[in-house]
Amino acid sequence: MNQEYHDTTVKMESEGVNPEYIQGWQGGYVCNPEREEQRVNEAYTAGYEDGLEKKTDGFADWK
C-alpha cells in the first residue's frame, strides 16, 4: 500500500474536501485515465492535476 496515498485520502475525507476533488486526486495520483468529458467538473479536474503532480497540499480550496 502507498502510505502517502492513504494518508492524504484520509486527511482530505476527514477535513470535508469536495468528493469530486478527492476522486480526481486519487485518479491522477495512480495515473488512471481521466473521466469522460461529460463527467468532468472543476473540482475533479483540479484534483486530477494535483494527483498527477503528487501534490498533497492543494485541497484547501476544495473544503
pLDDT digits (tens, 9 = 90+) for 9-35: 999 999 999 999 999 999 999 999 999
Give me the pLDDT at residue 4, please: 97
Residue 24 neighbours by CB under 8 Å, 6+ apart: 43, 44, 45, 46, 47, 48, 49, 50, 51
30 part of a folded domain? yes
Residue 1 has pLDDT above 80, yes or no: no
Give me the pLDDT at residue 29, please: 98
Cell numbers that stand for 15 in this block:
477535513
Query: Which whole number is the average pLDDT over 38-60?
Result: 97
52 part of a folded domain? yes
First CA to last CA distance, the chain: 26
8 part of a folded domain? yes
The overall average pLDDT reported for the chain is 96
Give me the pLDDT at residue 43, please: 98
61 part of a folded domain? no
Cell numbers that stand for 27 in this block:
485518479
Query: Which whole number is the average pLDDT over 32-40?
Result: 95
37 part of a folded domain? yes
Contact 36, 12 (CB under 8 A): no
Domain count, the chain: 1
The parent domain of residue 36 ranges over: 3-56
